[in-house]
A and B are shown apart, each in its own frame.
Chain A
Amino acid sequence: MDKYIEMVRIRFLMMLAYRTNYYSGILIYSINIGAYFFLWSAIYGDKGNIQGLSVLQMSTYVAVAWMARAFYFNNIDREIALEIKEGKVAVELLRPYHYLGMKTMQAFGEGVFRLLFFSMPGMIFIAFVFPLEFPGNAATWIFFALSLVFSFIINTQINLLTGIMTFFLFNNDGLIRAKRVVVDLFSGLLLPISFYPGWAQGVMQYFPFQAISYVPNMIFTEAYKGNELLQALLYQGIWAILLLIPIQLLWMLAKKQMVIQGG
């Protein structure tokens, strides 16, 4: 276990070395959130409420969605793809740790860094500029934090899956890009899932994507209450477990049919 925690620490320190560009990142994220804020204001016009979300809740939703993304977002799919392409993965496999576990820990180190140096200061900055509504209830914060951990796990699992696919596709830049687009749309980052037409919402229930962004955002804006909230967390938990199966299967297959390209 120690070596995995060490991975988190090392990655965190590595990120710290590059921290300057995160300040510009906060500004750019803010511009991004700001533009969505105006877009949504225009969409709401003089409607007080769309699909159970008020304008205030909606702007909070957008701000939290982007700031949470900074935490769960990582590039391990790209890193895995690169290590496979360069043949480095062969050496990695000889080392005394589980390769995927190690990647997850690196992603976690990166996530914690971004949470502390990006999301939190960013959120405070944005709260000064735009009207946002922070939950006053301590329980909401705890559920939100829990939900965010699940977001990280599920998003990382999807990244691992995309990364492992490099073993079979050799060059999967296209797939990685496609995945990113699909996650942004179906996770609820760009649009709350409740805004989609009913049939689309029905289909999306059978995918893990909304566990990444929609669920934590809805918890934060206090649009989920009581039973609904628990069900949402359960939904996240189930997906976090279910996704282990394809990862394990693909990983076993991948090791069997590994072709080292160069290296």
Chain B
Amino acid sequence: MYYVSMFIQYAGQYMKTRLQYRADVLVEIFSDFLFQAVNLIFILVVFGHTQSLSGWNQNEIIFIYGFFLIPFAIFGAFFNIWDFNERYIVKGEMDRILTRPIHSLFQITLERMELESLFGAVTGFAVMMYAGSQLDLPFYWHDPLVFILFTVGGVLVYAGIFIMIASISFYSDSRTSIMPMMYNIGNYGRYPVDIYNKAIRFVLTWILPFAFVGMYPAAYFLRKEEWYTYAFLTPVVGVAFFLIAVFVWNQGVKQYRGAGN
């Protein structure tokens, strides 16, 4: 309960500070939108030259992309920790975090919230709905529930991976350039994994399980039965990765000796 009220208070403060710089928020939403458009343009241009990608057609690929955007946007809004190393370790801000009464990771999450990213989920939903309507997909009463379950799973996968990478900073305080590139790798989860070779497929499924953020769960809604097992593993993998990440984080915090001042 305490955590919920903390969250609401931080979110309220956040809205106030953001509304101070309205133009900035608009530009940021616009730049997110541009980012989403770029990927869509990529898909459209590619399908100008080919009919299918290993048996997946254009609308199916767009549908996967639309789905991917939703967990990705939620992740971006709440786990905006890509500059964790510079901001908290190099500058010594972590010391301040550790004096706070709530869990350090939750505290950082609250401080680094970027709620405007949530607009990405709206675009994603629209893209998915558009592609879905073109494909004439069947709809069942339980689909919204499955959708929520899979979205949460996807967010946890993303969060888990990035928390683990952030935790590296506790052990080595040199600057790492891993984070930004990891965002790029995250993108491969939104293409059908059967286009990759076995090694990459394995990495995207079990090591950096980005495929569980886009392609696997979306395959369920596309009614690709051969992928159902993977689709239903989404929440399991999400929870597992998140728990491991929190464990690694806690271990890291114990290691942390303080830097900066």
Taking Cβ atoms with an 8 Å cutoff, the residues of A that contact B are 18, 20-22, 24-25, 28-29, 31-32, 34-35, 38-39, 41-45, 47, 50-51, 169, 171-175, 177-178, 181-182, 184-185, 190-191, 195-197
Contact = CB atoms under 8 A, between A and B. Distances in A.
B200 interface: yes
B216 to A, nearest CB: 16
19 contacts: A25-B181, A28-B178, A31-B203, A35-B185, A38-B196, A38-B197, A38-B200, A39-B191, A41-B195, A43-B50, A43-B53, A47-B49, A174-B30, A177-B31, A177-B35, A181-B31, A185-B41, A191-B42, A195-B45
Interface of B: 21, 23-24, 26-28, 30-32, 34-35, 38, 41-42, 45-46, 48-50, 52-54, 174-178, 181-182, 184-185, 187-188, 191, 195-197, 200, 203
A184 B23 CA distance: 24
A40 B35 CA distance: 21
Contacts of A182: 34
B177 A21 contact: yes
Contacts of B52: 45
A174 B27 contact: yes
Nearest to A176: B31
Nearest to A34: B200
Contact of B31 (A18, A20, A174): A174
A29 B48 CA distance: 27
Nearest to B189: A35
Contacts of B30: 174, 178
A190 B177 contact: no
Contact of B34 (A43, A171, A181): A181
A38 B188 CA distance: 10
B185 A32 contact: yes
Given A42-B195, A184-B38, A185-B41, A171 B24 contact: yes
Contact of B174 (A18, A25, A173, A195): A18
B interface: dominant SS: helix
A interface: dominant SS: helix
Contacts of A25: 177-178, 181
A169 B30 CA distance: 15
Given A18-B175, A21-B176, A31-B203, 16 more contacts: A21-B177, A24-B176, A31-B200, A32-B185, A35-B200, A43-B49, A47-B49, A171-B24, A174-B24, A174-B31, A178-B34, A181-B35, A185-B38, A185-B42, A191-B46, A197-B48
Contacts of A197: 45, 48
A178 B27 contact: yes
A29 B180 CA distance: 11
B27 A172 contact: yes
B28 A173 contact: yes
Nearest to A45: B50
A171 B21 contact: yes
B24 A50 contact: no
Contacts of B185: 28, 31-32, 35
Contacts of A181: 31, 34-35, 38
A191 to B, nearest CB: 6
B62 to A, nearest CB: 15
A144 B177 CA distance: 27
B48 A195 contact: yes
A171 to B, nearest CB: 5
A31 B54 CA distance: 21
Given A21-B175, A35-B200, A173 B53 contact: no
Contact of A174 (B28, B49, B182): B28
Contacts of A174: 24, 26-28, 30-31
Contacts of A45: 50, 52
A252 to B, nearest CB: 24
Nearest to A179: B31
Nearest to B116: A174
A34 B175 CA distance: 25
A196 B181 CA distance: 26
B197 to A, nearest CB: 6
Nearest to B188: A35
B95 to A, nearest CB: 22
A28 B181 contact: yes
A178 B23 CA distance: 14
Contact of B178 (A21, A171, A196): A21
